[in-house]
Each structure stands twice: as structure tokens, then as C-alpha cells.
Amino acid sequence: MSPSRIDLPYTRYLDADGQPLGPLPDWVEDGARVVGLYRAMLRTRLLDQKVIALQRTGRIGTYASSLGQEAIGTAIGSLLRGDDVFLPYYRDSAAQLLRGVSMREMLLYWGGDERGSAYAGAVASGDFPLCVPIATQALHACGVASAFKIRGEPRVALTTCGDGATSKGDFLEALNVAGAWQLPVVFVVNNNQWAISVPRRIQCGAPTLAQKAIGAGFAGEQVDGNDVIAVAERLRQAIDHARQGKGPTLLECITYRLCDHTTADDATRYRSAEEVNQAWHEEPIKRLQNFLVARGWWDESREQALVAETQAELQQAIDAYEATPPQDLQEVFRHVYADWPAALAEQREQFAERVVRRTQGADHE
């Protein structure tokens, strides 16, 4: 069989305008549940807009937006159980909000404060902090899933990454061990078509990223990552499968990064406005809004109420973030090593001395 001919499932329930393409999963009849998904996506987008504004006005550090990818994280956050473990990457605000990471914690994190990763919420505190080193979390997830398997616990580890991350050794090694040991882990790939300035088509020769799972001995499939119903339905099955001891799944969610890579990037330098404009027609929030309005489950007044309520919540989180006294600079080293390698320990001591001199105003370098 030619690799390009591996025939993998692709699931989509709503078209770009929110029209059902055929029968929908039964759970979609529960209007409150679907409205809950919509609310979570819109809250994420409002948070996102606010954090970018904070960055542009110098009140927060570099930020990775999830604009256009809200459906994926929302589906994840709505389906994982409290005792499952989520191992996120850096575009997972939607899932993290639903796991109970507070907006203030997120702001602290992007403001460069370690305490933003010390989640206070009962569920979130069992999750991992988000990973910026690409694909490393895929191996961590296999470690967590191994523990569940060894202890015989019906718990699932779910990890996310981007399309570019699937080219990394860490990712491929994680798939291998997940398949070899039949671990209760789900890999969710946010294929947003770009790895910073590198387009999907030159990242990897395989026609789909999902088929990487086939080489590791388990199922991979594609879904429309901008159709929250499709992501939730396929993810529900993947999570159940893992929980029942039937092994891992790779879900490739096809989406588009509507934003710059981060606030430190300018995507107009490497992709066309035409491509981005086209992608806006497929974005997840408007699509679900159209569906909900057609069903009579949503309207303009509910939309306005949700926006007002979220803006107030955001303002409170910003006030709390800005009122938080800065951390001691040496905190940056605190959770790095239990036993420090000698060369790094020396650097840490030098840094500590400089901090003390600087505080005393004696450092004029």
C-alpha cells in the first residue's frame, strides 16, 4: 500500500455556516450542553483578546494566542474527568479554563511569574503546567499513562501539541511507547497549518499527521478541528477507548492559526492575507453560533450578557494579577533541579549575588 493511500476517517458534522451535514450525535439534542461549549469558546476568545491588549500595552509578556483553535481545547476540557491528567501545550487556554485554571493564574504565567503554573483549583492542580519546549509533553503523558496502567486505575492522560511538533523525535518516541505498551493516552494534534513560518506541506512528507499512529500500532484519525461537535464526538470515543484499557488514539484536528504565532511574531511576512481571510470563513465560534441560533438556543441578548459577564470577570482577574507583588527573582531557579549540576549551581550563585547587589543599588554594570 502506498503511504499516501492509507485511508483514515475524517469527521465533520457542521459545515462552515453551521448547517448540519447529516445526522448529529445524540448528545447534541441536549441544548444546554452545546450552549456550554459555545460559552466556553467565546470566553476563551475574549480572554485571548484581552491578553493581547495587555501585551501590546506592556503589561504582560509574550503570549501565544489560540484564536481559531478554541473548539479543540473546549472539547478536551468538557470531556476529561476530574481525575484524568491533562498535559497541555501553549495554546490551550480553552481547555485550561474548563479544567479550572483561573484567569489570574494564566495572566501570571504569561507575565513571567512561576506562580501562574501552581494551579489552586482541585482539578487543575492534578494537571501539568503548559509546555513550551516542543513535543516534550507527549513523553510526559506516556509516563503519566504508564503509572495509571501499572496501578490499574481507569484514568486517562491527554496531551496536545501542534502540527510542527509531530516532526519531533519526542513525539514519535511517545507514539512508539504508547503503542508498544498500549497506554491509556490520547494525543490531540492541533494542525493549524503552520509551525511559526513553516507551512504544513513542507514539515513532513506524510499526507496526514494522523497516520503517524498507524506506524506505532494504534488508530489515528482526522476531524474538522473547527467543528466542536466533531472534535467532542471523536474525542469522547478516544477517551472511552483509553479508559477501557484498549490503548491510545491520535486525533488530528484540522484547524487554522488565525493569529500571529505569538505576540513576538508578524505573520504577514510569510503568509498571504487571502489565505487568512479564507480561513476566517471556517472559524469555530461563528459556525456554532449559527447552529445554536437556528435551533433557537441562542440569541443576541444572551450573547451580550455573556460578553458583559466575561469582561467583568476578566477585569477582576487583571486587577488581581496587577496587584500581585513581583516574585523574588531567584524563584526562577526553584523548581528546576532537585540536585543541581555543579556548573549550573555556580551560575545560580552568581545570579543570586547579582540580585543582592542590584537590590542594594551597587550594581552599575
Ligand X SMILES: Cc1ncc(C[n+]2csc(CCOP(=O)(O)OP(=O)(O)O)c2C)c(N)n1
- Residues facing 252 on adjacent strands: 189, 222
Stretch that binds ligand X, among 127-135, 218-226, 235-243, 333-341 (CB under 6 A): 127-135
- Residue 252 touches Mg ion, criterion: CB under 5 A: no
In terms of CB distance, is 206 or 306 closer to Mg ion? 206
Catalytic residue status for 270: yes
Catalytic residue status for 261: yes
Question: Which one from 12, 91, 99, 257 is the annotated catalytic residue?
Answer: 257
- Residue 31 touches ligand X, criterion: CB under 6 A: no
The amino acid at 177: V
Report the residue closest to ligand X, judged by CB.
162
Other CB atoms within 10 Å distance of the CB of residue 114:
16
Stretch that binds Mg ion, among 121-129, 158-166, 288-296, 302-310 (CB under 5 A): 158-166
C-beta of 32: minimal distance to ligand X in Å?
31
Q: At what angle do helices 103-110 and 31-56 cross, to 10 degrees?
A: 30
In terms of Cβ atoms closer than 10 Å to its own Cβ (0-12, 13-18, 19+), residue 137 is buried
**From the list Mg ion, ligand X, none, partner contacted by residue 155 (C-beta under 5 to 8 A by kind):** none
Distance (Å, rounded) from C-alpha 190 to C-alpha 210?
11
**From the list ligand X, Mg ion, none, partner contacted by residue 232 (C-beta under 5 to 8 A by kind):** none
Catalytic residue status for 281: no
In terms of CB distance, is 264 or 344 closer to ligand X? 264
Distance (Å, rounded) from C-alpha 80 to C-alpha 98?
10
- Residue 132 touches ligand X, criterion: CB under 6 A: yes
- Identify which of 156, 132, 162 has the alpha carbon closest to the alpha carbon of residue 144: 156
Size of the site for Mg ion (CB under 5 A): 6
- Residue 72 touches ligand X, criterion: CB under 6 A: no
Distance (Å, rounded) from C-alpha 285 to C-alpha 247?
32
Rule CB under 6 A: choose which of 196, 307, 308, 352 binds ligand X: 196
- Residue 163 touches ligand X, criterion: CB under 6 A: yes
In terms of CB distance, is 163 or 282 closer to Mg ion? 163
**From the list Mg ion, ligand X, none, partner contacted by residue 91 (C-beta under 5 to 8 A by kind):** ligand X
Altogether, the residues listed in the chain come to a count of: 365
Sheet strands (E) in the chain: 10-11, 85-87, 157-162, 185-191, 194-195, 198-199, 219-224, 249-254
Straight-line distance from the first to the last Cα atom of the chain, in angstroms, rounded to the nearest whole number: 65
Other CB atoms within 10 Å distance of the CB of residue 72:
33
For cell 506505532, what's the residue?
216
Binding mask 134-153 for ligand X (x = CB under 6 A): x-------------------
Q: Which residues form the catalytic set?
A: 257, 261, 270
* Binding residues vs Mg ion (CB under 5 A): 162-164, 192, 194-195
